[in-house]
Amino acid sequence: MVDPLLLLSVALVASLFMSWSVGANSNSAPIAPAVGANALSVLRGALLVGIVASLGAVAQGGSISHTIGTGLIDGTHITTTAAAAALLTAASFIAVGVRTGYPIPAAFTVTGAVIGVGLALGGSLALVTYGRILAFWFSIPIVEGGLAFATAYLLVRTDVPDAVTVPGLAAVVGFVVANVRLTLLPSPDGGPATLARTIAESVSLPVRSLLGTFTVGTLAVSVVFAAIAGGLVYVMVSGSETRGIRQFLVGLGLLVTFTSGGSQVGLATGPLETVATSEFGVPGLALLGLGGFGILLGAWTGAPRLIQAVSNEYAAMGPYRSIAALVPAFLVAQVAITLGIPISFNKVMVSSIVGSGWIEGSGSVSGAKTGYTVAAWVGSMAGAAAVSFALYHVLTVALGGG
């Protein structure tokens, strides 16, 4: 029997490999519009992607990590050997995508890999969880595509000036930012708190409940965030429309990059969550920190190539379609984080791009490329499940692990 600490080390290395792959592959698209608009260089964009995505990983990655680690298989828990097999499988798939220039959907690959090792361990399918995840995945193209189309339509209207529409979108984003859940802001119930709640409680604003989770205080703080964001962008656009839109693209891209880090790091840390915390006492925040470090390395070493490729496509789209793609991507990804649902950020961005493209007619959207993308999603999940199932048995024999 191999030393359990050695098995944990193998699994941690696999997790770092996986987070590197995610950093090189899944976090590049949000900053590409700013690069395509010549607001940032490719290398500076990659530098910012690494820093911002790693911060998002630590600040928002807990819910996705928990779902991946405990929600995909019933009747068993993921062991160190199984975690290593799942992570090595998923990371290898994604690394091949980075090498060939074809992005592989991380969420589909990791989900398939974890299901594969879970079945190899004798577990059963968590059908209720799959139903929630699949419902969300299938709704992404419809909901996000519709939001992107509506946003693009609003932006290209000639009867509404940019000094109104662009700051208005910034205000919406600011309102949502005030209500994102951050791991570093614990609430009294033990879960992550929002900026709005933390600020409202710190200045003793009224706590009378309103709609849903909003109170008088949190709504007031959210409105202030919206006003500040909208006001700042209004000043930028009023001074110079072209420069203002470019600056908004940079800020929006970084915000979406932060969100992508939070939505993707759990794919690297989730398989290790149960065994590392319960058996070895590794804090969950430390695992997220490891994942964030891997994302940082991946972005700095692997992202420039993809940023360069994707930015060319965004440059052809123009700033309005880029904004129309990024805003819905931010909103949908934040909902996924709140619900703890793993998503492919590449799928999120593709759905936004397709939706914003319909404003120019169906001719601007490649049916062949869309079909290839869907086939890659399905194939990566099924393939990862099969490979991880086999790899678990190979590692069990080679390492003597369970």
Total domains in the fold of the chain: 1
Which tokens belong to 286?
């430390």
Look up residue 278 and give its DSSP letter: I
pLDDT tens for each residue of 76-102: 888 888 988 998 898 788 777 667 656
Contact 11, 272 (CB under 8 A): yes
- pLDDT recorded at residue 360: 60
Most confident of 216-230, 274-288, 336-350, 366-380: 216-230
Predicted pLDDT of residue 363: 45
pTM, 2 dp: 0.86
- 90-104, 163-177, 189-203: segment of lowest average pLDDT: 90-104
Lowest-confidence region among 59-68, 103-112, 134-143, 247-256: 103-112
Task: Express each pLDDT in 295-346 by its tens digit.
Answer: 999 888 877 777 777 766 666 677 888 888 899 999 999 999 989 899 888 7
Identity of residue 350: V
The residue with greater pLDDT, 253 or 280, is 253
Q: Give the number of other CB atoms < 10 A from CB of residue 213.
A: 11
For residue 313, give every residue at least 6 positions away whose Cβ sits within 8 Å of its Cβ, in sequence order, or none: 32, 36, 353
The domain in which residue 347 lies consists of 4-399
Residue 209's DSSP bridge partners are 215
Per-residue DSSP letters for 211-270?
A: STT-BHHHHHHHHHHHHHHHHHHHHHHHH-HHHHHHHHHHHHHHHHHHHHHHHHHHHHHH
Q: For residue 258, give the amino acid letter.
A: F
For the chain, first and last CA: distance in Å? 9
Task: Give the Cα separation of 195 and 198 in Å (integer).
Answer: 5
